[in-house]
């Protein structure tokens, strides 16, 4: 077994944010393999996060974020268990990163469970219809549709989107890592995203010309 040095422990701690003792323990289990130890720490963090997910999270922060010169705004609420954790630099950075994610990627929901059942049903039927038009075997439709729905969720659900600061990770993974580091249940509760002029019809500067174009009089 390779010798576990202080440098190896420090390197693993820098990568993961885990405690010194945890880093040393995982390095020992991994036989000195830093990459393997990092994976073991990740699995441990996921397990710990799962245990914490049922605990009440009534503290936290509501933050606002303005982007693109005042053209996009976000209001976001993220909950944790204690006011102490809410003031933690890691928690504050997470909230800021999530607000930036919402501004940049425009999700519609926090998680897939929030997508209305009627909308999911409609999306599935549309996907299946497209597949039938492509002459895909009927027996394969459910499996293919499930894969395409995963892609749909990754577009519209915040926790399933690729993280804008590291597209190799999902936003949900980033939240889980924060749970592991901070040691409390963290829940993204709700958000609202505003885009300037969204839903408003653009003013037509020359109405007569636009009417003429629509009638085919002006090209």
What pLDDT, in 10s, does the model give residues 86-95?
999 999 999 9
H/E run at residue 61: strand 59-67
Same domain, 91 and 121: no
How many other β-carbons are positioned within 10 Å of the β-carbon of residue 96?
A: 14
Structural domain contains residue 1: no
**Pair (20, 83) in one structural domain:** no
What gap in Å lies between CA 209 and CA 80, rounded to an integer? 56
Q: Are residues 70 and 175 in the same domain?
A: yes
Which contiguous run of DSSP H or E holds residue 105?
Answer: helix 89-105
62, part of any domain: yes
CB-based contact 17:182 (threshold 8 Å): no
Same domain for 60 and 109, yes or no, is yes
What pLDDT was estimated at residue 172?
92
Q: Are residues 102 and 184 in the same domain?
A: yes
Could you tell me the CA-to-CA distances from 171 to 67, 84, 133, 188, 209 in Å, in that order? 19, 23, 34, 11, 47
- DSSP assignment of 166-197 equals EEEEEHHHHHHHHHHHH-S--EEEEEEEEETT
Q: Please report the pLDDT score of residue 219 as a whole number.
A: 53
The Cβ-side half-sphere exposure at 186, using a 13 Å CA radius, reads 30
CB 85, CB 91: distance < 8 Å = yes
168 and 92 within one domain: yes
The residue out of 52, 69, 86 marking a domain boundary is: 52
Residue at which a domain ends, from 104, 128, 155 = 155
- The reply to whether 169 and 211 lie within a common domain is yes
Domain at 214, CATH number: 3.30.479.20
Together in a domain, 142 and 62 = no
Are residue 72 and residue 166 in the same domain, yes or no? yes
User: What's the pLDDT score for residue 9?
Assistant: 84
Domain presence at residue 86: yes
| 60, part of any domain | yes
Q: Look up residue 120 and give its two tokens.
A: 């999911």
Within 10 angstroms of residue 95's Cβ, the number of other Cβ atoms is 23
Identify whether 161 is part of a domain: yes
The span from the first CA to the last CA of the chain, in angstroms, equals 78
Domain that holds residue 33: 6-52
The stretches in the chain having pLDDT less than 70 are 1-2, 16-19, 44-56, 201-219
Q: Are residues 196 and 95 in the same domain?
A: yes
pTM over 0.85: no
Q: How many domains does the chain have?
A: 3
* Same domain, yes or no: 77 and 102: yes
Q: Does residue 137 fall inside a structural domain? A: yes
């Amino acid at each position: 077994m390779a010798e576990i040095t202080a440098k190896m422990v420090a390197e693993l701690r820098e990568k993961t944010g885990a405690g010194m003792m945890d880093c040393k323990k995982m390095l020992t289990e991994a036989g000195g393999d830093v990459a393997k130890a990092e994976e073991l720490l990740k699995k441990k963090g996921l397990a710990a996060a799962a245990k914490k997910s049922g605990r009440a999270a009534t503290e936290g922060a509501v933050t606002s974020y303005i982007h693109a010169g005042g053209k996009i705004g976000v209001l976001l609420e993220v909950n944790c268990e204690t006011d102490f954790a809410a003031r933690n630099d890691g928690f504050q950075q997470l909230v800021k990163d999530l607000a930036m994610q919402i501004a940049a990627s425009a999700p519609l929901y926090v998680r897939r469970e929030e997508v209305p059942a009627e909308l999911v049903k409609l999306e599935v039927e549309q996907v299946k219809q497209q597949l039938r038009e492509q002459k895909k075997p009927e027996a394969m439709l459910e499996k293919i549709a499930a894969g395409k729905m995963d892609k749909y969720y990754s577009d519209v659900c915040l926790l399933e989107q690729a993280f804008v600061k590291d597209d190799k990770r999902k936003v949900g993974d980033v939240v889980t890592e924060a749970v592991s580091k901070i040691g409390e249940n963290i829940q993204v509760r709700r958000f609202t995203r505003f885009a300037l002029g969204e839903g408003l019809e653009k003013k037509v500067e020359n109405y007569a010309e636009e009417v003429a174009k629509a009638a085919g009089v002006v090209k």
